[in-house]
Chain A
């Protein structure tokens, strides 16, 4: 039973990480949104799995909330933005695709390195997934740093949040429901603020390339 549980957790975490890597390989906004949608769905599945094997019914609520917020609501808002900015693809990031992929592989290794003490101390059956969640956090940070389009950066930020949520679920079997709800609201607020920013950037520069912000220095 325990082994099935840990296998499922590692499998889910691996999938979540791979959907994060799609952000580095594909170029179209549609692909990013789909990757985020699937990542969130798998994440809510992992949460529900932890709830089932950890006998914690509260986690089902968290999983449902996750799915509704990140699998349904935010993708819909993203699609609305995509209709306006779909022409703006991530064609020339600061770091080219091949290098980005290799760097992300190294970042995941680094994630393994820094979570080593955690995994060594932990007795939880979910511990094997934690390095992967850490890896996703690092890779998403790298996406935010190395891409030029504001929309890509926003999706990178959302995936970063997914990585943190995964780390929380695997490391602690879920934080109290009220805290989790607060986090959801935070994410939603952050996302809405970013959305307003993107529209403003687009108003000002007629593009959502953050390179353009350098022109503000004059």
Chain B
């Protein structure tokens, strides 16, 4: 039964992810007084890309062809390990928080390699920027979740969720709130949103994620775009379920799972609204100020760990 639910959770994540990206875009458009593309637009784009021909640069090696599959597979693997719908899951024993962080980093690493591989200057530029951001953001993710892990006494994501549900008062403790702030900033950085990276443009001076995938086309591009969407969904569900775990199913009954799906959707909509509002309100940071923002989030995570550690 648990395995069925696990599979359903991963499938749901894959199916919902493009819709989530579409939802953020649509909300942004509405906030800016534009009509905006419908929420299911990313699905159409993926379908179109999957049907299109693949054009590969003659200087590209096997790495370039392998990278989309690695990126996508690592994102799918993470959906099996993150408590999106239910806890505890049978795969909880396979991977905890550290595995999740490193799987995400594996995808980032291969994407950067693929950006360097065809030898276009944009790809190299994007790869170096992505590595800068990742090197600063990854420790913060680990630290922020460690702050929660200290409270729960385990680095297992399922355990953390279960503990927070058992002790609702902990959700308002400063450790939790600071960790939430830190993880939110890192989410923006890792998924290439404003103020770190603008997902809507292909302006040479500012792009990070787009620069790396500039050479891709056809089904490769579709896989990478899809993986990016899944990554966004993973971060959103981490934010939603680690800090506000109510609604996550603890029993494997149909009713509980239905509640879990509904609450997940509600959390995603709220977070998407928050991100859309933020992206409408603020401008992109200068690239040289990005490390400063990320060090600010690192300090928040550090304070979160400190207060969790000392207030146990």
Contact = CB atoms under 8 A, between A and B. Distances in A.
Interface stretch (A79-87, A105-113, A154-162): A105-113
Given A11-B177, A25-B292, A108-B303, A102 B298 contact: yes
A10 B311 contact: yes
A11 B174 contact: yes
Interface in B161-191: 169, 172-174, 177-178
A109 B306 contact: yes
Contacts of A3: 169
B310 interface: yes
Interface string B288-312: 0101110110111011001100110
Contacts of B302: 105, 108-109
Interface in A14-36: 14, 17-18, 21, 25
Contacts of B292: 25, 97-98, 101
A104 interface: yes
Given A108-B303, A128-B311, A14 B174 contact: yes
B310 A105 contact: no
Contact of A112 (B291, B296, B306): B306
Nearest to B293: A25
Interface in A100-140: 101-102, 104-105, 108-109, 112, 128, 131-132
Interface string B189-231: 0000000000000000000000000000000000000000000
Interface of A is mostly: helix
Nearest to A22: B296
Interface of B is mostly: helix
Contacts of B295: 97-98, 101-102
A104 B178 contact: no
Contact of A101 (B177, B178, B296): B296
A105 B298 contact: yes
Contacts of A102: 295, 298-299
A7 interface: yes
Nearest to A3: B169
A105 B169 contact: no
A101 B169 contact: no
A139 B178 CA distance: 17
A10 B291 contact: no
A46 to B, nearest CB: 13
A15 to B, nearest CB: 9
Contacts of B293: 25
B292 to A, nearest CB: 4
A52 to B, nearest CB: 18
A7 B172 contact: yes
A101 B174 CA distance: 19
A104 B299 contact: yes
A98 B291 CA distance: 7
A14 B307 CA distance: 9
B303 A10 contact: no
B173 A7 contact: yes
Given A98-B291, A112-B306, A14 B296 contact: no
Interface in B124-182: 169, 172-174, 177-178
A13 B298 CA distance: 19
Given A21-B296, A102-B295, A105-B298, A10 B174 contact: yes
A41 to B, nearest CB: 18
Contacts of A21: 296, 299
Contacts of B303: 14, 17, 105, 108
Contacts of A131: 310
Given A14-B178, A14-B307, A7 B169 contact: yes
A14 B177 contact: yes
Contacts of B300: 18
B243 to A, nearest CB: 15
Contacts of A98: 291-292, 295
Contacts of A128: 310-311
Nearest to A17: B303
A101 B306 contact: no
21 contacts: A3-B169, A10-B173, A10-B307, A11-B172, A14-B174, A14-B177, A14-B303, A14-B307, A25-B293, A25-B296, A97-B292, A97-B295, A98-B292, A101-B292, A104-B299, A105-B299, A105-B303, A108-B302, A108-B303, A109-B302, A112-B310
Interface of B: 169, 172-174, 177-178, 289, 291-293, 295-296, 298-300, 302-303, 306-307, 310-311
Given A97-B295, A101-B295, 15 more contacts: A7-B173, A10-B174, A18-B178, A97-B292, A98-B295, A101-B292, A101-B296, A102-B295, A102-B299, A108-B302, A108-B306, A109-B302, A112-B310, A131-B310, A132-B307
